C-alpha cells in the first residue's frame, strides 16, 4: 500500500516500551530465573507487534518495516556467531581440562579474602590485553567463577567482579572495537579518547576495587582449608592437571593481541582445546564417547559433542559438579533467540522513528553542558535497553548529539568518553541486550542477579555525569584560545 509517513508523538513512541516493561516484569514474577527459556523472547516479539501497529498507522508499509528488521538482525549476526563459538570454546576447554586447571591452581594462590579484588584485576588485565570482554568472560571468567564457587562465594558476587574487570579492560584497550568506534563517532583520535577516559575510569575502578576488598575481608566464607583441599583432590582425580594446559589460553591471548579477528580467534581457541583434550584427557574422552577400544573414534565423538552439545563431567565432590557441565553451541540457542527477538523490536522502533522521537524529546530538556552530557549518557542506556545492542547505543547517540556538542563548544573527546562511560559498560546490565544475554548464559548467572555487584559498570555512567556537573576537566574549544593567548603573552 502507498506510504504517507507521519512522525510519531512521544506517547506513541513510549507505548511499546511501556508494554514491554509490563510484560518483562510479569515474566520475572511468574517465571523467575527461567525467563530466558522463552517468555522474555515472546515479550519482545509482542512489543514489536505493538510497535508495528503504531508504525502502520504512521504510514509505514510492511515491506519497509520488514527490510529494517532484516537489516537490524544483520547487525547482530557477528555477535550471534561469536556467541555460538563461545559455546564451543567453553566445551572443549572443559573437556581438555583447561578450566579445571585454572580452578585447581587458582585455589592454591588466591586467598579467599583477596579473591574478589584479584578477580577484578585479572579479568581487567586479560581484557585490556585482548580488547574483548566477551572472550575474557568466556575463558578466564568461567574459571574464576569456579574458584569463587569452591571457596564459598556467592556466584552473583563473583560474576559482578568478573564483569567489572572485563568491561574495564574492554573500555580502555586500544584493541577493543567499541574503544575505536566511540572516537570515530565523535570525531577524535583513539589515544586522545583513551587518555581522556582515564579521568572518569580510574576513579570508577578505584572505588570498585575498594568495595570488593571490603566485601572480601568481611565476607563469611563457607569453605575452609579442608574443603578447598577436597575440591582440588576431586579435580586432580578426575582430570589430568598439568601447567601445559595453560598453553591453550596463552595461544588464544597471543593471536588476539596479533589482531586476529574474533571469529577465527574463537575457532582456533576451540580447536586448540579439542587437541589438548585428545592429548591430555584420554579417560574423559573415553567416558564422554562411551568407546574404549577405538581412541580415534572416541576423540572425534567427544570433541564434536563438546563443541555442539551438552557434556557433563562428574567428580567425587558433588558441590562442584555443576561447574563441569556445558551446553556447547546448543546451550546458546535460547540466547540467540533472545537476541533475534530484541533485534526485531529495535528494528521496528527505529523504522517507525519512535527511538528518534524519544531522543529528540530528551534534547528539549538540555539547558547546560552538564545536562547535555547527562542526556547523552541517558540516551546510551536507553538505546541499550530498547535497541538491545551496545554498538547502536554508541552509534546513534554519537550521531544525534555530535552537532549539539559542537554548538556548546565541547571537544569531541567529551562526547566519545560519554558514549563509552554509558554505552559500552551498561549493555551487560540489560538482560535482553546482546551483552547481558550473552554473559548471563556464559556464566550461568542471571543478569539481574549479578547486576547489583557489577560495580564498575554501575559507577561509570554516574561518574561521567558527576564530573560534568562538577565541571571537572570538561574540555572546551575556548580553552585552546585561552591557552594560545597566554602563550602569546
Q: What is the pLDDT of residue 483?
A: 54
pLDDT score of 224 more than 90: no
47-79: b or e for each residue (b if 16 or more CB lie within 10 Å)?
Answer: bbebbbebbeebebeeeebeebbeebbebbeeb
C-alpha cell at 442: 556464559
Q: What is the pLDDT of residue 205?
A: 96
pLDDT score of 32 more than 70: no
pLDDT in tens, 80-98: 887 788 789 888 988 999 8
Among 51-60, 104-113, 412-421, where is mean pLDDT lowest? 104-113
Q: What is the pLDDT of residue 274?
A: 95
Domain ranges for the chain, please list them. 10-72+332-478, 78-331
Q: What is the pLDDT of residue 1?
A: 42
In the chain, what percentage of residues exceed pLDDT 70? 93
pLDDT score of 223 more than 80: no
Average pLDDT over residues 12-28: 85
Residue pointed to by grid coordinates 579439542: 274
Among 45-49, 57-61, 179-183, where is mean pLDDT lowest? 179-183
pLDDT in tens, 165-197: 999 988 988 767 788 778 877 888 877 888 899
Task: Using pLDDT thresholds of 50, 70 and 90, give the confidence band for residue 275.
Answer: very high
Q: Is the pTM of this model over 0.75?
A: no
Average pLDDT over residues 356-377: 83
Does residue 150 contact residue 103 with C-beta atoms inside 8 Å?
yes
Say which residues have a Cβ less than 8 Å from residue 249's Cβ, sequence separation at least 6: 98, 139, 140, 269
Q: What is the pLDDT of residue 485?
A: 44
Amino acid at each position: 500500500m502507498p506510504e504517507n509517513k507521519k512522525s510519531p508523538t512521544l506517547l506513541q513512541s513510549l507505548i511499546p516500551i511501556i508494554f514491554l516493561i509490563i510484560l518483562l516484569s510479569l515474566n520475572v514474577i511468574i517465571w523467575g530465573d527461567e525467563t530466558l527459556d522463552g517468555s522474555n523472547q515472546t515479550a519482545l516479539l509482542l512489543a514489536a507487534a505493538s510497535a508495528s501497529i503504531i508504525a502502520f498507522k504512521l504510514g509505514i508499509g510492511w515491506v519497509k518495516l520488514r527490510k529494517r528488521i532484516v537489516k537490524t538482525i544483520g547487525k547482530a549476526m557477528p555477535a550471534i556467531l561469536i556467541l555460538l563459538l563461545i559455546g564451543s570454546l567453553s566445551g572443549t576447554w572443559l573437556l581438555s581440562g583447561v578450566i579445571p586447571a585454572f580452578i585447581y591452581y587458582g585455589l592454591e594462590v588466591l586467598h579467599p579474602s583477596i579473591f574478589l579484588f584479584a578477580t577484578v584485576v585479572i579479568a581487567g588485565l586479560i581484557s585490556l590485553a585482548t580488547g574483548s570482554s566477551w572472550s575474557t568472560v568466556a575463558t578466564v571468567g568461567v574459571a574464576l567463577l569456579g574458584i569463587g564457587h569452591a571457596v564459598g562465594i556467592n556466584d552473583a558476587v563473583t560474576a559482578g567482579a568478573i564483569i567489572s574487570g572485563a568491561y574495564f579492560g574492554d573500555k580502555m584497550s586500544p584493541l577493543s572495537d567499541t574503544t575505536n568506534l566511540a572516537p570515530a563517532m565523535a570525531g577524535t583520535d583513539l589515544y586522545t579518547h583513551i587518555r581522556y577516559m582515564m579521568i572518569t575510569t580510574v576513579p570508577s575502578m578505584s572505588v570498585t576495587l575498594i568495595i570488593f576488598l571490603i566485601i572480601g575481608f568481611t565476607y563469611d566464607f563457607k569453605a575452609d582449608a579442608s574443603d578447598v583441599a577436597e575440591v582440588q583432590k576431586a579435580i586432580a582425580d578426575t582430570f589430568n592437571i598439568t601447567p601445559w594446559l595453560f598453553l591453550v589460553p596463552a595461544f588464544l591471548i597471543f593471536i588476539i593481541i596479533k589482531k586476529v579477528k574474533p571469529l577465527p580467534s574463537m575457532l582456533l581457541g576451540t580447536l586448540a582445546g579439542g587437541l589438548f583434550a585428545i592429548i591430555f584427557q584420554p579417560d574423559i574422552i573415553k567416558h564422554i564417547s562411551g568407546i574404549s577400544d577405538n581412541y580415534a573414534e572416541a576423540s572425534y565423538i567427544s570433541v564434536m559433542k563438546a563443541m555442539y552439545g551438552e557434556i557433563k563431567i562428574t567428580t567425587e565432590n558433588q558441590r562442584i559438579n555443576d561447574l563441569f557441565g556445558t551446553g556447547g553451541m546448543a546451550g546458546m540457542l535460547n540466547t540467540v533467540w533472545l537476541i533475534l527477538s530484541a533485534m526485531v523490536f529495535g528494528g521496528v522502533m527505529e523504522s517507525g522513528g519512535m527511538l528518534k522521537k524519544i531522543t529528540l524529546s530528551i534534547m528539549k530538556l538540555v539547558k547546560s553542558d552538564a545536562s547535555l552530557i547527562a542526556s547523552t549518557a541517558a540516551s546510551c542506556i536507553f538505546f541499550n535497553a530498547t535497541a538491545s545492542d551496545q554498538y547502536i547505543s554508541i552509534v546513534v547517540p554519537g550521531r544525534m548529539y555530535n552537532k549539539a556538542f559542537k554548538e556548546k563548544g565541547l571537544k569531541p573527546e567529551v562526547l566519545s568518553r560519554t558514549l563509552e562511560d554509558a554505552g559500552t559498560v551498561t549493555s551487560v546490565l540489560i538482560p535482553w541486550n546482546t551483552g547481558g544475554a550473552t554473559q548471563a548464559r556464559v556464566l550461568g548467572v542471571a543478569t539481574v542477579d549479578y547486576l547489583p555487584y557489577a560495580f564498575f559498570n554501575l559507577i561509570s555512567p554516574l561518574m561521567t555525569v558527576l564530573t560534568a556537573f562538577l565541571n571537572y576537566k570538561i574540555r572546551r574549544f575556548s580553552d585552546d584560545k585561552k591557552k594560545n593567548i597566554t602563550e602569546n603573552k
